[in-house]
Structure 1
Amino acid sequence: MANTVARRGFTTTRAQLGSPFHYAEGPRTNIPFNPLTKHFFWRYWGFMITGFGAPFAIAVWQTMKTK
């Protein structure tokens, strides 16, 4: 059994960058935004505060609304 596995010759190939089905690899290439921009910090926290706070703000608004 060990000889069979050794004889199979497992190999891997490097992704070809010229192919339309592969993208550049490396740090920050797998995310849909650029964290190196000047205002990324403010945009990030604005998005997080809005996304996390909206459900709570909606709940408070619905609770305080007159029937």
Structure 2
Amino acid sequence: MRLPGTVARRGFHTTRPQFSSPHHYPEGPRNSIPFNPLTRFFFVRYWGFMAVGFGAPFGIAVWQTYKNG
């Protein structure tokens, strides 16, 4: 039986951080993403991809609204 004033001990623990590198990953920054932002025209391709991804649902909705049928 548990008394009302007692608190259960929980097993929280953390790993000691390693400060040998200023980055989170030992390989360095930009290593955990699946693309390289340092390539030529990256931002043009990035914003083009975002514009198509955001605009496609609206374009599909307009096309479905105005198609014959």
**Once the 2 structures are TM-superposed, how far is the Cα of residue 26 of structure 1 from its aligned partner?**
1.9
Gaps of 5+ in 2: 1-14, 19-24
Q: Does 1:38 align with 2:40?
A: yes
Residue of structure 1 equivalent to 2:61? 59
Q: What is the percentage of aligned positions where both structures have the same residue? A: 71
What amino acid maps onto 1:64 in structure 2? Y
| C-alpha RMSD of matched pairs (Å) | 2.3
The two structures have a TM-score, normalised by structure 2, of: 0.60
Q: Which has the higher helix share?
A: 1
* In 1: Cα distance, 2:45 partner to 2:26 partner: 25
Q: Residue 52 of structure 1 aligns to which amino acid in structure 2?
A: F
Kindly provide the CA deviation profile for residues 18-55 of structure 1, in whole angstroms up to 9, marking residues without a partner as x: xxxxx853210000000001110110001000111111
TM-score of the superposed pair, with normalisation by structure 1 = 0.62
For 2:64, the aligned partner's letter is Q
Alignment-mate amino acid for residue 58 of structure 1: I
